[in-house]
Amino acid sequence: MNTFLNQHVLVLNRLWQAVNICTARRALALVFEGHAQVVLGDDEGAFQTYNFSQWRDFSDKAPHPESISTVSFRIRVPRVILLLMFDRLPKKEVKFTRHNIFERDRNTCQYCGVVFDRKDLNLDHVIPRDRGGPTTWENIVCSCIKCNTQKANRTPQEAGIHLVRKPKRPKWRPFVQVNLGFNQHDSWKHFLDLAYWNVELGEDVAA
C-alpha cells in the first residue's frame, strides 16, 4: 500500500497544463478535499475527469492492480490529476550563465544575425563595461569574432552596427525537469510532449 501511495502523479492546472508532480497520497487527498479531479484517458485519446466519489465508484467497477484498500472500499491510484482552481504556471528564474545566454540567442551573432558554433562566439557587453554597462541579461549578447572586433570598446551605434533584437531576460520554460528527473507513466505522454517542453530558452524573444 505504501509503495502505491508514494507513486508519482502528474498535476495539471485548470488549463490542462502540467505544473507539478506529487505523490499518490497527496493526489488522493486533493481529490478527496475537492481541490482536484482524476484525469483518465481512453483508447481513443479522449480524457474524462472524476471527482472522489466518481473515482471510487469507477475503481469498484473496474478493479486495477494499482489500487489501495481501505476499511470500506478499494480505490485505484491516479496517474494524472487536474487542479480545479489553479491556472498559473510555476515561476522560476533562469540562471544567468554562459550556456543560457547561448541558448537565449540561439548561437546567433546578435549583430550580423549569422549562426555560429559556440567556439566561434563571444559574449559582448552592448554598452561597454568601462562605460558603466552592467553584466546582465539586458546588456550581454552573443557576438561573432568579426563583429566583436568591429565593435571593439564602443556602443553599437558608435561602431555602425545594430542589434538583431533587444536582449531580454528569457522566460522560464516550465517543467523541463519532468523529462529528466522522473520515470514517466504512459498516461503522462499527452501532457509532456517532448517537442513542446524542450524548446530552447528565450524562443519568444526571436523576431
Report CA-CA distances (Å) from 195 to 31, 44, 158, 201, 206. Answer: 30, 22, 41, 13, 18
Question: What is the predicted pLDDT for the residue at 124?
Answer: 96
Q: How far is CA 16 from CA 19, 143, 171, 196, 206, in A?
A: 9, 39, 20, 14, 26
pTM: 0.52
Domains of the chain: 2-90+174-197 (no CATH), 98-159 (1.10.30.50)
CA–CA distance from 203 to each of 126, 140, 167, 191 (Å)?
Answer: 20, 17, 12, 20
pLDDT, tens digit only, all 207 positions of the chain: 457 788 889 888 888 878 788 899 999 999 999 999 999 988 777 899 999 999 999 998 888 888 887 778 889 999 999 999 876 655 566 778 888 899 889 999 999 999 999 999 999 999 999 999 999 999 999 999 999 999 999 999 999 999 999 999 887 554 444 444 456 677 787 776 543 444 443 333 332
Radius of gyration for the chain, computed over Cα atoms and rounded to the nearest angstrom: 24
